[in-house]
Amino acid sequence: MNRWLKISLVTVTGLLVIAAASLYFYYKSIGIIPSHDYETEPPHLPDFARPAVLIFNKTNGFIHKDALPVADRVFSELAEEAGWDTFITNNAAVHNPEVLHKFGLVVWNNVSGDVLTEKQRESFRRWLEAGGGWVGVHGSGGDTSYQWNWYVDTLIGAQFVGHTMDPQFQDASLLVTDPGVSISSHLPAPWRVPSEEWYAFASNPREKGYEILMTIDKDSYVTRGAITSGWMEGWTDRMEGEHPLVWRHRVDEGRVFYSAIGHRPETYQLPEYRQLLSKAMRWAMGDAD
């Protein structure tokens, strides 16, 4: 083989390897390629003088890198306004009985992927059923491949199946299902939310008796329907009938609130959303009806 041809082949092969490696590490860095990192030793916690909120932000799946720090800050501010202490961590080992009993409320901020060991899952479930409160936002219910059936079927109550893609971020109108419910009574009708990513789910949690607080007006934004090819094959951004985005329910003695809103950091700074999250935290903590 011609010497220069050999050199060219080696060069091209090297460039392809570098390109593939770069693509792999890029996808890994944003969570498209999931991680399987688990912690077993919890961090040191301070002694809390006031009721305390655990803000958990671990990502073994997609990383909402812009929204995470902003949402952490907003949840901390809302907790302070309520007179509560906070502890922020991505260490999943806090989900053990000794640590969880220090908190009245756990917030999952865009948690993604499979993050808890079997033992941690059981500890969290028992803590919640015994009267704990849980608030989850956006990515905490936005994974197509959960490994924990109870989390999907009971805690969230619906399997995520996709989000808007064409375009991904759109203005849309959200509808309050019952203006008489305190947690959402401050919102306008409709509430126009700018430039967000809108989730779809395989089923409506209302079918399980969960209280739907807000739905999306299907005529207020553009959907493309089912994706039939590529790495997102099987995804869809549409739902038949009512399309819920915010709901709450009880798990035995525990209180659960989930909002599918919150991909972009700007959303957490909207006064209407801050107030909704504040009310949700107070309700889940047991301080409000």
- Per-residue model confidence as pLDDT tens digits over 90-101: 999 999 999 999
Interatomic CA distance for residues 49 and 52, integer angstroms: 8
pTM for the structure as a whole: 0.90
Identify the bridge partners of residue 191 per DSSP, sorted by sequence position. 174
Predicted pLDDT of residue 232:
80
Q: Who contacts 246 (Cβ-Cβ below 8 Å, separation ≥6)?
A: 174, 184, 212, 213, 214, 257, 258, 259, 260, 261, 276
Predicted pLDDT of residue 230:
80
Both tokens assigned to 135: 């608030």
Cis link prior to 34 (omega < 30° from 0)?
A: no
Residues of the chain with pLDDT under 50: 14, 17-31
- Given the DSSP bridges, would you call strands 52-56 and 105-109 parallel, antiparallel or unpaired? parallel
* CATH class for the domain made up of 52-285: alpha beta
Predicted pLDDT of residue 35:
79
Domain map of the chain by residue range? 1-30, 52-285
Handedness of CA 47, 52, 55, 56 (dihedral sign): positive
Q: Burial level of 273, CB count in 10 A (0-12/13-18/19+)? A: buried
Q: Burial level of 218, CB count in 10 A (0-12/13-18/19+)? A: middle
Q: Who contacts 150 (Cβ-Cβ below 8 Å, separation ≥6)?
A: 121, 125
Tell me the HSE value of 246 on the side-chain side, using a 13 A CA sphere: 24
